[in-house]
Amino acid sequence: LRSLSAVPAASIASGMAAFPGIARAAEFSYKYGNNLPVTHPLNIRAQEAADRILRETKGRVEIKIFPNNQLGGDTDMLAQVRSGGIEFFTPSALVIATLVPVAAINAIGFAFSDYSQVWSAMDGKLGAHVRAAIGKMRLYAFDRMWDNGFRQTTSSKAPVASARDLDGLKIRVPVSPLSISMFKGLGAAPASLQFSEVYSSLQTKIVDAQENPLPIIQVAKLYEVQKFASLTNHIWDGYWFVANGRAWDRLPPDLKTIVAAAINDAGLQQREDIRKLNESVITDLQAKGLQINRPAADSFRAKLRESGFYAEWKGRFGNEAWGLLEQSVGKLA
Ligand code: X2X
């Protein structure tokens, strides 16, 4: 029974109340919170990973998933995973950058042109650089980043065909300094809101537009409150799977190996799910009434250069990180 001391008393008590016949609680009972609906591939693959971990650790490690902002918005969950209130969280790069600024580097506007560039950077030196920075904040970042996707712009007003169409547009962006800076540079009027507020703020017209990858627009049913989707591909965004540093260190090495393998493998499968969804989702969204257009990137890039966006963020991220990004995508600024 010595091992039970690692488990919070409340979770033992509630576990036993729920399953009075089962006398043994898991030795490590961990909570994982995220911001996405259960139908998103991130939740489907994470549940598979949790099942595999329970099986391969013979019940010693149990991960309970709290999807869809059940534990609060991203800002709350980031605080909880730091304090140990939850043990796992998958913040987008944009969101964890409020704590680890360099983590937003993959989200520099129009940096990546395709997934081969994305994964060579994030599975390579740039990803390692960001993971090390996350580690300094007493969070452990698993090796494989999970995919969110290339972010696209939706609006209830009009299609975005060039940078001019963003002028003054009230657009929701995540709680992310880089997103605010980018959309201000593009001439829009961005507002940071937690993802949990997006649907209702579009519905009540607090904002007219938002930007997210197509699979999210689909699973969060944003097509119900938006008319136009412009495939701007302006940011590539991914999720860092992070663990509270102390909770991670509590796991004996053999359990760490099992947990890391299950989570990293699930991440690779989740990337493949998103790749396939990207191909099928457009037809589905059109059938649901979204009008799709495909703007060229030139006017947006030109406007960002003019506004000093690249020069400013090169300075903020520093030459080392910027150089690693440019190794994958070519010269940016
Ligand atoms: O909040 C968003 O827009 C989302 C779901 O893409 C992130 O997690 C950044």
Listing from the earlier edge strand, what are the strands of the sheet with 139-141?
61-66, 28-33, 88-89, 242-244, 139-141
The whole-number pLDDT of residue 4 equals: 42
Ligand 1 environment, Cβ below 6 A? 35, 92, 94-95, 148, 174, 195, 212, 216
What is the mean pLDDT of the segment spanning 158-172? 98
Is the pLDDT score of 148 beyond 50?
A: yes
**Cβ neighbours of residue 142 closer than 8 Å, sequence gap 6 or more:** 240, 241, 242, 243, 260, 263, 264, 267
The whole-number pLDDT of residue 239 equals: 98
What is the mean pLDDT of the segment spanning 122-141? 98
- pLDDT tens digits for 39-86? 999 999 999 999 999 999 999 999 999 999 999 999 999 999 999 999
Mean pLDDT across the chain, nearest whole number? 94
- pLDDT tens digits for 277-317? 998 999 999 999 999 999 999 999 999 999 999 999 999 99
- pLDDT tens digits for 170-179? 999 999 999 9
**Nearest atom (ligand 1) to Cα of 172:** 3
ipTM of the complex: 0.99
The whole-number pLDDT of residue 236 equals: 98
The whole-number pLDDT of residue 333 equals: 73
Going by alpha carbons, the residue nearest to atom 4 of ligand 1 is 195
What is the mean pLDDT of the segment spanning 183-194? 98
CA of 53 to the centre of ligand 1 (A): 27
CA of 136 to the centre of ligand 1 (A): 24
Going by alpha carbons, the residue nearest to atom 6 of ligand 1 is 212
CB atoms near residue 227 (< 10 Å): 14
DSSP-assigned letter for residue 86: S
CA of 321 to the centre of ligand 1 (A): 23
Is the pLDDT score of 8 beyond 90?
A: no
The whole-number pLDDT of residue 6 equals: 43
Instruction: List strand residue ranges (DSSP E) for the chain, in order.
Output: 28-33, 61-66, 88-89, 139-141, 146-150, 152-155, 170-173, 189-192, 209-212, 228-230, 236-239, 242-244, 291-293
Is the pLDDT score of 9 beyond 70?
A: no
Is the pLDDT score of 19 beyond 70?
A: no
